[in-house]
Structure 1
Amino acid sequence: MESVVHFQEIEPEIVLLTMEDRVHKNTFSKELIDGLLEAFAVIEASNVYKVVVLTGYDSYFASGGTREGLLAIHEGREKFTDKNVYSLALDCKIPVIAAMQGHGIGGGFIMGLFADFVILSRESVYTTNFMKYGFTPGMGATCILPRKLGISLTEELLINSGTYRGAELEKRGIPFPVLPRAEVLGHALELARQIAEKPRYSLILLKDHLVAPIREELPSIVEREVMMHEKTFHQPEVRERINALFGK
């Protein structure tokens, strides 16, 4: 069965990963999770690649948890840590560019923020909407958001769970390029080519140095997020909100 994560060597040293689970609109389906894990395993095993571009399809980048996945956590059958896709970009030894040409929802937005370079679309929606479902944030959100966006905007995004267009976030001064959707991937590929001009060993060494503080603090923060989930995710109201927000 063909993977919903398409692996393409754009050039000998540049990998383009395109998430295209049209059936589930790039929510974290089993197919998408397995595809991402497999793709990054191939990248990890390579001694050639220098940079990864991660993108979605049409107006979707990544859309967060599925209804079934959220209910499984609510019922205590799963945890978001069972299969770690959120920090794949952080753990990747070479630089990763998140070309977020489409909507980034919940954990999908967080996954993109763990990349070394982030590019947003003016038209697309970005939100960390965990609290709309009644449970506290997971996926390492409380670690990466303050580091990438600052504590004030983080508190607004996480506590209020608002929905923002890329153009709105650009006005708020986020430190990422925000471009028309049609220009996001092209910008990312040009950036990738510039990165690929550098020696691979030096890229790996410098990334390892730059992200070391995040890698070191993330496990303890994720542990606390899981503890908060144990207190918030199993409330009856959460099931009601999940069903209501998914329209079932």
Structure 2
Amino acid sequence: MAKRLAALICALILTGSAQAQTSDLVSKTALRVCADPANYPMSDKEGTGFENKLADLIADRLGVPVQYTWYPMATGFIRNSLRANKCDLVTGYAQGHELVLNTNHYYTSAYTLVVPQDGPLAGVETLSDAALQDKVIGIIAGSPPATHMARNGLLLKARAYNLVVDRRHESPAIDMLDDLAAGTTDAAILWGPLAGPLVKQGYPGLKVTPLTQEDLPPRLFFRITMGVRQGEKVWQRKLNSLIRRNQAEINVLLDEAGVPLLNDMGTEPLDLSK
């Protein structure tokens, strides 16, 4: 029994030491953010993305400046930024992803259907709608809505756009919306936090409809968190507290950017009056 107790004490000491070491990696003098330099409307080097503005808000509450490590949001992003200890925070990451330790989510959004607002598809709300049959629909290859399109027989005439790209050289979301605005395609299916802000700022003739009524998997809504290094529980809790105390201001920031905000279950628009 004495040996077991000693082993337990040693384990607790080692665990505490490991937690202290990981916590020591977080800068006390700056909010060190990992971000894509060309991922507008989320982030860019000019600081105009809504995630840039979110980082500014967090830094202001912490009383420190923002310091960026730029790396394309593609293969190796976490490994070469957060895990390499070059920064301490990713401002937007899907809940449950194993590469990071997630904070509490600060918004929920969904994939959207984008169509001409005065066209025959303006009233479509589900991918099973017969009005979509025989239409040319833009889709990011390999994204969750592609499964729903296949189930509803919409892939035969679909126009695919690349999923993983270096946004400094290729912008599939903008290409997709440009094609739709030009009439090359009839509709587009795009992640809401990309579609909403881009349409709001540059495509006044298009309508964005969140796909909240799809009952079969895969789900099309996601809760978005901030990501920190695995093991950094103290930093995570500090950010959770900041999110909770500033949620109303975060909601306004996202809404003004044009991000489609949904309730936690992704079933209806978020009531910003609450």
Please give the range of the TM-score, normalised by the shorter of the 2 chains: under 0.3
Larger radius of gyration: 2
TM-score by length of 2: 0.21
TM normalised by structure 1 equals: 0.22
Which structure features the higher share of helix residues?
Answer: 1
Higher relative CO (Cα under 8 Å, sequence separation at least 6) belongs to 2
